[in-house]
Amino acid sequence: MDDELLELQRQFEFAQQVKSSVRLSDRNVVELVQKLQELGVIDFDLLHTVTGKEYITQEQLRNEITREISKLGRVSVIDLSDTIGVDLYHVEKQAQDVVLNDPGLMLVQGEIISQNYWDSIAEEINERLQECSQIAVAELAGQLQVGSELVQSVLEPRLGTLVKARLEGGQLYTPAYVERVTAMVRGASRGIFVPSNLSALWAPLQQLVQEMNGASGVAVENSFFQSIFNRLLKEEEMLGSLRAGTHWTPSAFAIAQKECVDSSFSQNSYISYESMQKLGISQAVQFLQSRYPDGTPLAAVFIHSSMIEMLDSATEDVIEQNSWIDSLSVLPSSFTSQDAKKMLLLCPSVQSALKAEKALILGESYILSSGFIKGIYDQIEKEAEAFSIQASTASLIDPSSKSSESTESIPANTEKGSKKKKGKSVSMKAATVETVPDDEEDARPKSKRNQKKGRDSSSSQKLDSKAGGKKESVKAQENNNFIPPDEWVMKKIVDSVPEFEDDGTENPDSILKHLADHMKPMLINSLKERRKKIFSENADRMRRLIDDLQKKLDESFLNMQLYEKALELFEDDQSNSVVLHRHLLRTTAATIADTLLHGLDIHNKLKNGTEVGESKTQDQVLLDSSERTALAKNLNGSLSKKALALVEALEGKRVDTFMITFRDLAEESGLVLKKLDKKLERTLLHSYRKDLISQVSTESDPVALLAKVVSLLFIKVHNKALQAPGRAIAAAISHLKDKLDESAYKTLTDYQTATVTLLALMSASSGEEHDCSADRILTKREFLESQMPLLRTLVLGDSQPQQS
């Protein structure tokens, strides 16, 4: 059997050595391999080499990767691809499998590193440490071309075995080096006898270590020194306390501190926080409370109970004698006023006196008996009442002395005029337009009113609504003119107690100033009660005044708006427009402005407690410019500013400016002004027309008749209520030319010409007696009287003018 095997081996070897006469091409080999894979003969994956001429199995690829790692210890995946001759993709894939299956390998940044490699690196690092004592991990990472975190993670398990060193703050130190630095830290720390910040201690140690290591030495981190210090403290090689990790207080200093505090407190029965700060004790209150539980902490000092007993004895005598004392005068200079007040509140005699209202603490350090204060106050209260009466009288005489701080306006009517009953008509004032010279234009227009039930009570209801809405959200400020100033009060106190004069009135902490501040509110309350009695008497009159003022302004302001609309027809005629604006300002506008200013002035006097006669509040007033200005200045705050603006607008040339300022003042005063709408305008025009028709029918003066006829024609033609002075009648007639027939217009112009002639003759003959002039005047008047029926027929007869 063995012989047969040997024979077969010889034949096989011979067959291998014999060169085949038929060779397969590479293509045939590839096809053959593919065929074998299809037939399942080759049931494993084959990988092509980079050259494409060889096949390699995945298992063989892993074996070759493992062989290269075992040989080099650290190899790049890219280098493996070049060495084995297989595509990088397959090498990376198999390399991950190799690392995954072998815990001794790691794949880092495209490199496979074995633990044997790190062991050898650790041995090299240990050899270097023996030469230089310290090495930075960052330096090693740079040399090995890996991250510092990786180097640190690799070295930590090898410390104490392969690497005889200590890792601290990214540095490797030899045990001898650590012992040397520990000795330096121990010596420096034991040389400190006062509280210090360890960060300041590490800086010179760092410099000393660098000098010791020479130029090649690496800077030592503070954390290395701190860790050594913490270890020494734990081992009790140093005695003291460490706060916040860096504040070191040696035990020798703490002992000296306590001895000094005990000595001072036992001698003086108190110790100030300032002296504690100088001793280096920052939390003085906690320190003293823990050391002296029976003591009392104050604002600036810590005291023993004996200090309170001493002050209690002094204050008890003062209260019994109805006198006063400054507690700071019996306390050391280091005590503040806050300390004095707290001590006073701790005194038993003061506590009982305060509870029984027998004493009072002023200004934190002053204590006064109630009898002492009452004796002074009773005397000053009588003089304060006399002062208030005198100041009130002076305020009435000199309006400029009123307080600028009071800004209260009269109560407002918050409900709108729309809440009045529908269908109510208010007739306007049918004012006659007189053809007289301008110096007679101040005559006030006549009027009549048609009122319905419930009108008289509307303003009072609005006032009640406003008062209920406000309640007490806004209070009137006290008029300072009726309150004695601080200087007056202090002077009266000095008159009663001359010894207070030594403290002076300028010192804010003096007993004089504090006593005056205490008595001032008492005096104010007393004067308030006195004035409250006066105000209660005036309250009903003020409400009636507002209701009357609202009623007067309701109709007058509607008429003013109606007259203003007629001025729009003359905007293109600048000269006549100015005449008409000024005329309306001097007549109707002046009337309602005087009514409002007079009413606000009376209300202001009643509000301030001034007695005003009943008839004076109801009289119709006619004011000149200076009187209006005086009344406006007497009002308070913004009300005065708006009133002065109204007076200025009344002296101007534009009615619209007056209307704006009048609305502003009324709104500020709390009065509600109705706006002229279409319905009200028609109602007022109808009433005005009826009044004019009645006056034209009964007018006997030929001069006055012309103005009434022109006004009536303006209502019929332009639907406007015109108020025109004598010198503007001609311009008004010219605006009727296109609306009247020729004969009617000629009648009107002839009558106006004759009227002007009559007035000119009357003006020229005034003060002189000439028969000739009298005859001419009589003749001209007779002519006008003969034309009066024709003029009445023009507006009242069957021939009506053309409607616009």
**Which tokens belong to 579?**
């005449």
At residue 668, the 3 state secondary structure works out as helix
pLDDT at position 444, please?
36
* Residue 14 reports pLDDT greater than 50: yes
Overall average pLDDT of the 454-473 stretch: 40
% of the chain residues with pLDDT over 70: 75
* Residue 623 reports pLDDT greater than 80: yes
Domain boundaries, the chain: 24-102, 174-253, 269-374, 484-610+622-676, 679-797
* Residue 466 reports pLDDT greater than 60: no
Q: How far is Cα 654 from Cα 581, in angstroms, rounded to an integer? A: 6
- Beta-bridged to residue 47, according to DSSP, are 56
Residue identified by tokens 């304060």 is 384
pLDDT at position 458, please?
41
Which one, of 173, 182, 69, lies nearest residue 125 by Cα?
173
* Residue 592 reports pLDDT greater than 80: yes
* Residue 413 reports pLDDT greater than 50: no
The answer to whether the pTM exceeds 0.75 is no
- Residue 512 in contact with residue 490, Cβ under 8 Å? yes
pLDDT at position 443, please?
34
Beta-strand (E) ranges in 152-217?
A: 166-168, 171-173, 196-197
Which one, of 191, 156, 175, 155, lies nearest residue 228 by Cα?
175
pLDDT at position 297, please?
92
Q: How far is Cα 716 from Cα 626, in angstroms, rounded to an integer? A: 40
- Residue 766 in contact with residue 774, Cβ under 8 Å? no
Read off φ and ψ for residue 580, nearest 5 degrees.
-70, -40
Q: What is the pLDDT of residues 361-376, one digit of tens each?
A: 888 888 888 888 888 8
User: Dihedral through CA 306, CA 311, CA 317, CA 322, nearest 10?
Assistant: -160
Q: Which has more pLDDT, 732 or 42?
A: 732
Overall average pLDDT of the 307-316 stretch: 89
At 302, is the pLDDT very low, low, confident or very high (cuts 50, 70, 90)? very high
Read off φ and ψ for residue 240, nearest 5 degrees.
160, -170
Overall average pLDDT of the 492-505 stretch: 79
At residue 451, the 3 state secondary structure works out as coil
* Residue 619 reports pLDDT greater than 50: yes
At 769, is the pLDDT very low, low, confident or very high (cuts 50, 70, 90)? low
Largest CA distance in the chain: 194
CA torsion through residues 314, 317, 319, 325, sign: negative
pLDDT at position 415, please?
39
* Average pLDDT of the chain to the nearest whole number: 74
Q: What is the pLDDT of residues 329-368, one digit of tens each?
A: 888 988 998 898 899 999 999 999 889 888 988 888 888 8
Q: How far is Cα 344 from Cα 349, in angstroms, rounded to an integer? A: 9
Please classify residue 742 by burial: count the beta carbons closer than 10 Å to its beta carbon, then call 0-12 exposed, 13-18 middle and 19+ buried: exposed
Q: How far is Cα 436 from Cα 759, in angstroms, rounded to an integer? A: 8
* Residue 467 reports pLDDT greater than 50: no
- Residue 640 in contact with residue 669, Cβ under 8 Å? no
**At a CB cut-off of 8 Å and minimum separation 6, what does 413 contact?**
459, 462, 463, 465, 466, 546, 550, 670, 671, 672
pLDDT at position 455, please?
38
Neighbours of 72 (CB within 10 A): 16
Which one, of 209, 166, 203, 165, lies nearest residue 184 by Cα?
209
pLDDT at position 799, please?
39
**Which tokens belong to 457?**
């009570």
**Range of weakest confidence among 110-124, 387-401, 538-552, 671-685:** 387-401
Q: Mind giving me the DSSP string for 208-221?
A: HHHHHH-TTPPPPP
pLDDT at position 483, please?
75
**Which tokens belong to 662?**
């009048």
Q: What is the pLDDT of residues 49-91, one digit of tens each?
A: 776 677 777 788 788 888 888 788 888 878 777 777 787 887 7
